[in-house]
Every structure is written in structure tokens, then in C-alpha cells.
A and B are shown apart, each in its own frame.
Chain A
Amino acid sequence: MSAAALLPTRRDEAFRYADIAALTPLWPVAVEQITVPASEVRAETIVSLGAAAMVRELAVVLEAGASFDLRILSAGAGYGRITVRAELGAGARFTLGAAQLAGGAQVLEVVTEVHHTGPDAVSRQTVRSVAGGTATANYLGKVMVARGADGTDGEQSVRGMLLNRAATINAKPELEIYADDVKCAHGCAVGELDANGLFYMASRGLPPELAKQLMLQAFVAEAFTGAADEETLLEAALNALGDML
């Protein structure tokens, strides 16, 4: 057995918050290769809503001028882990919009490594996590800008919403930059639903579950903005939120 197939432990940085017990029966995970040829446009949607665990690993290569749009709705009942390694050639564009809705005692995570290998590539990552119960939602996201990848434009927008104080959200946006002329932004915030907003909505007659559902739907919607199947994803998210609350 090769070294790569060894079951990871929590000492491995990328598995720091992983549910190793749930991962064990699914290991090793087959890597799904996706190559977007030069100047072509691809889109992919991953939706997990069932009871089963889901562990997937994508290795995406974007050739020069290629564009890839990946949307994730991770709201299944079991362990969920999606790893995305993307390699961006010159002028390529990578969009990731991920929403994780974690309830019960489950762990959901998105792990990304975005390599800007060529100049003038653009990456946009938007991750919205909701955690209730004693659940954990993680985002570990690394943006690496290689020597010579000038004109890189990378952005990570990471936000988490805790439905109660027993839930956990881990967010770790990372930048590793070896080029000079680079624009990399990352924003990260974890909070709770606005109590003032909830009271305001209640004062108009909206029951608390419905008020929370509307607020969370708006929060999660940011991950799906601009997706071809935005409406479908939003509706699926709303239903999943309804089940959670």
C-alpha cells in the first residue's frame, strides 16, 4: 500500500477537524480528475442531502483562459468532506460557492487548495456555513500564488452562522504568495443570528422558526449568487434549513 493511502490522523493539517471515524470506512478516497481545456467553460454542482456520508476529492486543472464554476450544497445527515485542489493556468477563472448546513452531531467540511500557477488568473471562493446542535462545520482554504503568477486576483469570503453555543465553526483562510503584483483578499467572520432582527421580525407576526429560516436563506444565498441553477440550489437549501430548525 502506498503512503498516500494511509489513513490520515488529526495531526495532518488538512484533517485537523475531520471526523476520522466516519472517514475510515471510506478511505482511501478516489481522486476525481477534471481538466478544463484552454478557453473552455465548465460548471459542476455537488449536492448532498441524503443520510449517507459523502467524501469526495476533486483535482481540477484549468488550462490557460479556462473557467470552472463549482457550487456545493452540503446538507446531508452524515459526515461530509469535499476537497478541491485547483490549478489555475494563465488567465483562468475559478469560482467556488459552497454552503454547508450542519446539524446534529455531524461534521461537514470543505477543504480547498487553489494554486495560481500562471499569471492573471482569478479565483473567487464564497463559503457559508450554518451549524446547529453540536455539529461542526469547517473550511480550510489555501490560496497559493506561484513565482511569476503576477496579476493574480484571489478572493476568499468565509462566513459562519452558529445556531447555538454548542455548535462549532472552524474557518482558516490561508495565503501563500511568491509573486509581487498580486491582489489577494480574504474575509472571515463567524457569528450568530441578529437578535434585534429576530425580534423585529417577530413583532410583525413572524414565528421564530420562519424568521430564522428567512435570515439563514439570505445568508446561504450568497454562496449561490450567479450560479446557473441558483434557484434550484436555493430551494433545496431552504428545505434543508426548514428541516434543521
Chain B
Amino acid sequence: MLTIENLHATVADKPILKGLTLSVGAGEIHAIMGPNGAGKSTLAYVLGGRPGYAVTGGSVTLDGQDLLALAPHERAAAGLFLGFQYPVEIPGVSFVQFLRESLNAQRTARGAAPLSGGEFLKLAREQAALLKLDMDMLKRPVNVGFSGGEKKRAEMVQMGILDPMFAVLDETDSGLDIDALRVVGDGINAVMRRPDKGVLLITHYQRLLDYVKPDFVHVLAGGRIVRTGGPELALELEEHGYEAVAA
């Protein structure tokens, strides 16, 4: 589904990813863990196509399509969803307007008919209920005045509405209390745990993995995957630290 081969990337001419290779099959959830500065967020941004993150080598394909050749909004239309570690506030633009325009732009790009206002609101209401987010919050400007936890919930609601083929979730668990963590975990399972979808879960901690069971756990250090294992690897990391495990 998502295939990353020998990926090299720089930020401000500084090499961050140095030959990263990783493959996520359909129906799989992979977790990427690693110390600060390992390149985890850089990987997420490179996959999303953020300006300033330059790919200097390697390839990324999603369902056979060359992801790196596409503009960020085209990657979304191709089925990629990038969940932000720090969701951005957009004053004056409501979630409802923003998401309807986004979803319909994606649908148009895929040759599907755009949703009407009524159809969209029904979908938004369902997804908000799934994540226990008050529908009224989606009428407010995008992320403005939201707490850290609310922003992360809103990210998951957006994922539910956009219904992507593949999700890259960058530290979706940071800033969440225990209850919110469970809600977000349940949301990921409900939306993405399907035979035709895949997830790359980037996280610092083992906590989220109690709710979202990964099929594989990778350790990212120095811009490369240095170890791969099953869910037990996350526990090992929690116990012994990155240095001992990644060495």
C-alpha cells in the first residue's frame, strides 16, 4: 500500500532522513517510535509534501502511485491523510466550510459528485458523534480556541469525514489526557482498522498502542529504521529506552 524506498530528505540543507525504507501493507497499522530529533515529524511532513522539506533521493508510492510527484492537495485526493502534531488555527474560516470544500475538492479530483450541504452535514454529525465532539464546535473557526485535546479530536473527526485510504498520524497522542486518548484510539480503530486501509502511527510513547494495536513497530533513529518488530518491541522500548534497543 505505502512503500518508502531509500528515502533521503533535507530541511534547510541539513540531511534528516538518510535512507529510510518501509512498507505498510493493506489492512496494517505500523507504529514508528524514536527519540527526539530522529526524523519522525520530518517523515510525516515529507509524506505530506510540506514546502521546505526537500526530497534528495528515494521513492514513495501509495497504492502504486508516485506520491512525491504530487502537490500536497493532490496527495490528499490520492487518499493520504496527514494528522498534525500541532493542528493549525485558521481564523474566520469555519470547520464546516473548510471540510466541505476540502472533501468536495477531493471528490471532484477523483471524479465523484460533490456532496450537497445537507449530505455533508449528516456525515459531519455522524463522525463528530463517533469522536464525542460537540457538533457546534465544527461551526467554529478551524481550531481557534480549541484546547490541545479538542484539536486532536477534531483531527480524528476530519479523518473520519475525509475517509482516507492511508493515514499518517504525527504524535496524535501528545497533549491528550487518558480519557481523550481512549476516544482518539477508538476513533482510529473505527475509521482506519479496515482491510483496504493503512496507518502509520508516529508516537513517542507506548500508551496509544494499548488502544491501537500495531501490527509492526519500527524504531527510527538517525534518519533510518534501525529496528523492526511486533507490538512487544514497543514494550521493550518503554522498559529499556531507545538507546539500549536501537544500539
Partner of B98, one of A196, A204, A221: A204
Partner of A199, one of B50, B103, B106: B50
Asked if B77 and A197 sit within 8 Å, CB to CB, the answer is no
Chain B residues with Cβ below 8 Å from A15 are none
Q: Mark A32-72, 1 if CB is under 8 A from B, else 0.
A: 00000000000000000000000000000000000000000
Within the complex, the shortest CB–CB distance from A238 to chain B, in Å, comes to 11
Interface size on B, residues (CB 8 A): 32
Docked CA distance A196–B85 (Å): 13
Return the chain A residue nearest B141 by Cβ.
A218
Residue A243 lies at the interface, judged by CB distance under 8 Å to chain B: no
B72, B87, B93 interface centre (most CB from chain A within 10 Å): B72
Asked if B99 and A200 sit within 8 Å, CB to CB, the answer is no
Asked if A218 and B93 sit within 8 Å, CB to CB, the answer is yes
Asked if A215 and B71 sit within 8 Å, CB to CB, the answer is no
Asked if B73 and A202 sit within 8 Å, CB to CB, the answer is yes
Q: Mark A198-211, 1 if CB is under 8 A from B, else 0.
A: 01111111111011
Majority SS at the chain A contact face: helix
Residue B198 lies at the interface, judged by CB distance under 8 Å to chain A: no
* A210-B101, A210-B105 given; A202·B88 CB < 8 A: no
Partner of B90, one of A205, A210, A215: A215
Chain A residues with Cβ below 8 Å from B71 are 202, 208
Q: Mark B83-104, 1 if CB is under 8 A from A, else 0.
A: 0100111111100011101110
User: Which residues of chain B (139-160) have a CB below 8 Å from chain A?
Assistant: 141, 158
* A195-B51, A207-B73, A214-B97 given; A201·B102 CB < 8 A: yes
Docked CA distance A222–B93 (Å): 12
Asked if B101 and A218 sit within 8 Å, CB to CB, the answer is no
Asked if B93 and A215 sit within 8 Å, CB to CB, the answer is yes
Within the complex, the shortest CB–CB distance from A197 to chain B, in Å, comes to 5
Residue B184 lies at the interface, judged by CB distance under 8 Å to chain A: no
Chain B residues with Cβ below 8 Å from A206 are 73, 98, 101-102, 105
Chain A residues with Cβ below 8 Å from B49 are 202
Chain B residues with Cβ below 8 Å from A195 are 51
Residue A194 lies at the interface, judged by CB distance under 8 Å to chain B: yes
Asked if B98 and A214 sit within 8 Å, CB to CB, the answer is yes
Within the complex, the shortest CB–CB distance from A189 to chain B, in Å, comes to 13
Chain B residues with Cβ below 8 Å from A196 are 88
Docked CA distance A12–B236 (Å): 75
Asked if B48 and A205 sit within 8 Å, CB to CB, the answer is no
Q: Mark B48-83, 1 if CB is under 8 A from A, else 0.
A: 111100000000000000000001110111000110
Docked CA distance A53–B102 (Å): 37
Asked if B158 and A214 sit within 8 Å, CB to CB, the answer is no
Return the chain A residue nearest B109 by Cβ.
A205
Docked CA distance A194–B76 (Å): 20
Chain B residues with Cβ below 8 Å from A199 are 48, 50-51, 72, 88
Chain B residues with Cβ below 8 Å from A219 are 92
Chain A residues with Cβ below 8 Å from B89 are 197
Within the complex, the shortest CB–CB distance from A143 to chain B, in Å, comes to 26
Return the chain A residue nearest B80 by Cβ.
A203
Asked if A208 and B73 sit within 8 Å, CB to CB, the answer is yes
Chain B residues with Cβ below 8 Å from A221 are 92
Docked CA distance A199–B82 (Å): 11
Chain B residues with Cβ below 8 Å from A217 are 92-93
Within the complex, the shortest CB–CB distance from B98 to chain A, in Å, comes to 7
* A195-B51, A199-B50, A214-B98 given; A204·B92 CB < 8 A: no
Chain A residues with Cβ below 8 Å from B103 are 205
Residue B162 lies at the interface, judged by CB distance under 8 Å to chain A: yes
Binding site for B on A (CB under 8 A): 194-197, 199-208, 210-211, 214-215, 217-219, 221-222
Q: A204-B76, A204-B162, A218-B93 are in contact. List 6 more A-B contacts (CB 8 A).
A: A200-B88, A204-B158, A206-B101, A208-B71, A214-B90, A218-B92
